[in-house]
Amino acid sequence: MIAIRVLQPVKCVKSLNSRLFCSAKKPTWPRKIFSGIQPTGGLHIGNYLGAISQWVNLQNAGEDVTYCIVDLHSITLPQDPAGLRENILGVTASLLACGIDPKKSTLFLQSDVKQHAELGWILGCHTTMARLGHLPQFKEKSAKVKEIPLGLFVYPVLQAADILLYKATHVPVGEDQVQHLQLAQHLAKTFNTKFGATFPHCHALVADDLSNRIKSLREPTRKMSKSDADPKATILLTDSPDAVVEKVKKAVTDFTSAVTFDPENRPGVSNLITIHSLMSQWSPEEICEMNTDVDTGKYKARVAEAVVEHLTPIRLRIEDFRRHPDYLCQVLDEGAQVATELAEATIQTVKERLGLGKTTHSRQECKKIEEN
């Protein structure tokens, strides 16, 4: 079981504008978990070990979990339409193969639930450009394009809408996503202060182990990424055994032959030990003791063997699910029906508190006029 650390909110400081949010009468929200993943490229072992395994554990622990394939986030940068459709089915198959059970979790496609975009616009009207401009992912991604799409700038607002729409109290995230979650916390507080208690404060669930530290095989000081230009930098869940062996063999290490765990001074070897540990359930210390008889070159073969053994059943299940696209679409459709019902209830509350649309009172008045 993955150890999970809950990041607690900063203690509230009372002021004229925060009395409602800090009031002792604030509601008790039922525990709900939400998380999402983009369908851009194939899922890799960093996604699997750092996020999806945690999702499965939360699901199997009986938590109220909602998981979303966030395709609207994907189009903040250019996408090939046919490729995006294939990736959506591929991610769905991968999630199911890794253990996500549609009978225990709500799994759906973001664009199938229109309320995400609707709440995103509403929350955007309560967000400042200065706050968005300071978020790290915008700085990182905008540096790679000449003309910055508006969607890339407001991406975190839609991300906040994803969370608040289902009144999530806990969100599994990597440490690099905590700042974006803080925007959701800020927007919930802002909305609640102005319009009454509508959204819970959402807490970050950060895995308190090695699972969120999977690095690139080619640049072990950087996080493993689906968008890496070097295909040898990532191990995909769909990679063949030969491909896994080749990628591990080419992994960057150093000139020291001993197998030792020292992430700061030996990031390449330590990354392989981390992967080996998570795939085998042995601790890094145990792995180092078991491999005193080999140098790092021969140790790579043992890492590759452990990865192949762990991933082969998953890869075969992915291939099986991909042969049944109608079933994958059915899973997403059924999940979207459940998600839409929850999302619509939230949107109606938000609209009434903002004064948007026809309120319950105005509908009753219209009905009286029609009857007369």
pTM of the full predicted structure? 0.87
Burial 250-266 (b: 16+ CB within 10 A, else e): ebbbeeeeebebebeeb
∠ CA 104-106-110 to the nearest 5 degrees? Answer: 160
Judging by beta carbons within 10 Å of its beta carbon (0-12, 13-18, 19+), is residue 242 exposed, middle or buried? exposed
Tokens of 266: 């030996």
Residue 126's pLDDT band (boundaries 50, 70, 90)?
very high
Residue 24's pLDDT band (boundaries 50, 70, 90)?
very low
Report the pLDDT value the prediction gives residue 17, as an integer from 0 to 100: 36
Contact of 231 with 41, CB cutoff 8 Å: no
Residue 144's pLDDT band (boundaries 50, 70, 90)?
confident
Closest among 278, 317, 331, 243 to 94, alpha carbons compared: 317
Report the pLDDT value the prediction gives residue 15, as an integer from 0 to 100: 33
Contact of 223 with 21, CB cutoff 8 Å: no
SS3 230: coil
Residue 116's pLDDT band (boundaries 50, 70, 90)?
very high
pLDDT beyond 90 at 123 = yes
Question: In whole angstroms, what is the distance from residue 291 CA to residue 286 CA?
Answer: 9
Residue 6's pLDDT band (boundaries 50, 70, 90)?
low
Cα 4 to the chain's mean position, in Å?
A: 15
Q: Report the chain's mean pLDDT, rounded to a whole number.
A: 89
Residue 1's pLDDT band (boundaries 50, 70, 90)?
very low
Report the pLDDT value the prediction gives residue 209, as an integer from 0 to 100: 80
Residues noted as catalytic:
141, 223, 226
HSE-CB for 71 with a 13 A CA cutoff: 21
233 DSSP 8-state letter: G
Question: In whole angstroms, what is the distance from residue 105 CA to residue 91 CA?
Answer: 15
Question: In whole angstroms, what is the distance from residue 218 CA to residue 329 CA?
Answer: 36
